[in-house]
Structure 1
Amino acid sequence: MNGHKSTIMFQNIVTYFEKQSFGVCTYIAERFNMSISKIRLFFIYSSFLAVGFPIVFYIMAALILDVRHYVKRIRQRIWDM
């Protein structure tokens, strides 16, 4: 029974990162006016060369972008009142 809970939790984590994963590359590419595919390849190749450090950066950027979207939604709700 305990294995079932950990499987569900792992699936929830994977689903979250699948939804957020391309938002980081898209944001960076739009910000610097670059190709999204080049940014994605950069993260993939640099992850192999830098022993996973870009993955940590990527996860932190995904969380920060998620918080920014949350704050924007709250601001819109306040002004709608």
Structure 2
Amino acid sequence: MNIFYKLLYYFQKRGFEVCRRIAERLGIRARVVRTSFIYLTFVTLGFGFALYLFLAFWLGIKDLMYTKRTSVFDL
């Protein structure tokens, strides 16, 4: 396989899933959210990419803070 496809597969498999989570929250397709990020990045010269990284960081922190615990002793 080409190195480009290996890199693409890696990001698709182990990405931050920001677009999917935003799409689930808004009730729309993830493809629409991804396309919006791409267009926003081109139009604003990188703001969309910066926004995507910020949301990935924020969702990662949120996942760490709001983990479900089965009992009090899981702390």
Q: Which runs of 5+ in 1 are unaligned?
A: 1-14
What is the 5 A alignment of 1:60-79?
60-73=54-67, 76=69, 79=71
Q: In the aligned structure 1, how far is the partner of 2:56 from the partner of 2:46?
A: 16
Distance 1:25 1:19 in 2: 10
Provide the residue aligned with 1:7 in structure 2.
Answer: none
Q: Distance in 2 between matches of 1:70 and 1:43?
A: 25
Alignment of 1:22-37 (within 5 A): 23-37=17-31
Structure number with the bigger relative contact order (C-alpha 8 A, sep ≥ 6) is: 1
Runs of 4+ off more than 4 Å? none
Higher share of residues assigned helix: 1
Matched residue count = 62
**Unaligned ranges ≥5, structure 2:** 1-10
Letter in 2 for 1:65: L
Report the aligned-residue RMSD.
2.1
Deviations 1:3-46 (A, max 9, x none): xxxxxxxxxxxx7xx531xx110111111111100110111111
